[in-house]
């Protein structure tokens, strides 16, 4: 099994956290996002990151990869076991991915004037403070796939001038819990280590 990804991508880091939580033996291949290798474009024509290769299977899109790894390596579980809870988690993952992570992606790579996106992301995260406060992890007493998506996002906020962690002790405390996990620390590439503003 091989994971091919840029070394400063929120989607790829989320996948690496899942891999490390489950201690999956895998080969990691990093590449420059601005210059994807030819072999990757043959596997994944749109160069969506990350790309997972498992024998003849080729997957891309972070949520599809994370769910595949959860089903292929069910322990430790990073999703709820009953169908209703699992479906609810999928809805939350879609919201986090489509809204918060996509806003961050736009700020990092696609916006000429990112201030509006920063404002929307800040307000949206702060409006969710009760959800960060309610449980040890995001809407759960145990670490889940949702946290795997949220941790890379929160890591990048301070150096982007997005003051969510400064304005909310609840979100900051949550961030410190997920950042302290060995899977998060080990998921950071050298470039990603410099992106954050926390002492690990």
pLDDT in tens, 15-43: 999 999 999 999 999 988 778 888 888 88
Residues of the chain with CATH 1.20.1050.10: 83-187
Instruction: In the chain, list all ranges with CATH 3.40.30.10.
Output: 2-72
* pLDDT for res 111: 65
- Whole-prediction pTM value? 0.91
pLDDT, residue 102, reads: 87
Window from 38-52, 115-129, 157-171, 177-191 with minimum mean pLDDT: 38-52
Asked if the model's pLDDT at residue 114 lies above 60, the reply is yes
Residue 168's pLDDT is 94
* pLDDT at 116 exceeding the cut of 90: no
Average pLDDT over residues 143-155: 95
Instruction: Taking residues 150-164, report their average pLDDT.
Output: 92
CATH code of the domain made up of 2-72: 3.40.30.10
- Residue 39 half-sphere exposure, CB side, CA atoms within 13 Å? 7
**Span of 6-15, 24-33, 107-116, 182-191 with lowest mean pLDDT:** 107-116
CA distances (Å), origin 77, targets 4, 21, 80, 100, 134: 24, 9, 7, 24, 21
Give residue 68's pLDDT.
95
pLDDT, mean over the chain: 90
Residue owning tokens 């579980």: 77
CA 99 – CA 40 distance, rounded (Å): 27
Task: Give me the pLDDT at residue 39, please.
Answer: 85
What per-residue confidence (pLDDT) applies to 143? 96
Residues 82-96: b if buried by 16+ CB within 10 A, e if exposed: eeeeeeebbebbeeb
Q: What is the pLDDT of residue 64?
A: 92
Percent of the chain having pLDDT more than 90? Answer: 58
Residue 60 binned pLDDT confidence (cut-offs 50, 70, 90): confident
What is the CATH class of 83-187? mainly alpha
Residue 3 has pLDDT above 80, yes or no: yes
Please name the residues in contact with 113: beta carbons below 8 A apart, sequence gap of 6 or more.
none
Q: Which pLDDT score, from 0 to 100, does residue 188 have?
A: 93
């Amino acid at each position: 099994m091989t994971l091919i990804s840029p070394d400063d991508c929120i989607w790829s880091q989320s996948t690496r956290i899942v891999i490390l939580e489950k201690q999956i033996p895998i080969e990691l291949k990093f590449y420059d996002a601005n210059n994807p290798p030819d072999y990757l474009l043959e596997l994944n024509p749109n160069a969506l990151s990350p790309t997972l290769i498992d024998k003849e299977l080729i997957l891309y899109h972070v949520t599809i990869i994370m769910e595949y790894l959860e089903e292929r390596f069910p322990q430790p579980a990073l999703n709820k076991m009953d169908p209703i809870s699992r479906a609810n988690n999928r809805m939350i993952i879609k919201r986090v991915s489509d809204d918060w992570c996509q806003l961050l992606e736009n700020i990092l790579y696609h916006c000429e004037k990112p201030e509006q996106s920063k404002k929307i992301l800040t307000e949206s995260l702060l409006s969710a403070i009760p959800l960060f406060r309610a449980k040890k992890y995001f809407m759960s007493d145990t670490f889940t796939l949702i946290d795997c998506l949220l941790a890379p996002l929160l890591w990048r906020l301070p150096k982007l001038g997005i003051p969510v962690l400064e304005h909310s002790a609840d979100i900051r405390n949550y961030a410190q819990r997920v950042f302290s996990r060995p899977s998060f620390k080990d998921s950071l590439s050298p470039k990603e280590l410099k992106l954050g503003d926390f002492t690990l």
